[in-house]
């Protein structure tokens, strides 16, 4: 692959990632979650499975612990997450999504499905599955973080 081809592929992937982020965020806002930014969604992606500490979240997002702590403070204040005692470390707090946080996560999943559905209309369902599988081989599932 020549440099110009590599740059064209890089530009296309970055454009698709940016467009996907904005469309998911737009879908979340359209579903009533108007007090969030796209960065919150990247945090929710890490918190959704089993919660995380501020340190875990900072590593996931590629930010300082102070920046992650500020983000956590914001989503706790807005009712999307709560701090619980950590089950294995008495010094740490586990940040978990609340019911509102889970509802927002489901809204993001619905918005993502709409975007991918449009891709399937354009490329065909089989091509979208191939694309997903090939991209997963290159970057196996994360971390899902913003390109600050």
Residue 7: predicted pLDDT: 95
Given this model, what pLDDT does residue 84 score?
Answer: 95
Q: What pLDDT does 41 receive?
A: 92
pLDDT, position 2:
75
User: What local confidence, expressed as pLDDT, does residue 147 receive?
Assistant: 64
Maximum Cα–Cα distance across the chain = 54
- Determine the pLDDT at residue 117: 97
Total-model pTM: 0.88
CA distance linking residue 35 with residue 102, whole number of Å: 15
Q: How far is CA 134 from CA 113, 114, 123, 129, 141, in A?
A: 19, 21, 15, 9, 12
Handedness of CA 77, 75, 64, 51 (dihedral sign): positive
Q: What is the mean pLDDT of each run of 10 residues along the chain (148 residues)?
A: 87 92 96 94 92 94 94 97 92 95 97 97 96 90 69
């Amino acid at each position: 692959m020549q440099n110009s081809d590599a740059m064209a592929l890089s530009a296309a992937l970055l454009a698709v990632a940016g467009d996907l982020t904005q469309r998911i965020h737009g879908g979340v806002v359209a579903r009533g979650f108007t007090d969030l930014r796209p960065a919150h969604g990247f945090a929710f992606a890490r918190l959704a499975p089993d919660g995380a500490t501020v340190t875990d979240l900072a590593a996931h997002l590629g930010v300082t612990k102070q920046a992650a702590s500020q983000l956590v403070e914001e989503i706790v204040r807005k009712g999307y997450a709560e701090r619980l005692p950590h089950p294995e470390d008495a010094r740490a707090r586990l940040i978990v999504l609340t019911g509102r946080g889970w509802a927002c996560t489901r809204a993001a999943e619905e918005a993502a499905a709409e975007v991918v559905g449009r891709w399937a209309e354009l490329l065909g369902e089989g091509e979208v599955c191939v694309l997903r599988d090939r991209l997963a081989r290159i970057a196996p599932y994360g971390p899902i973080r913003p390109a600050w």
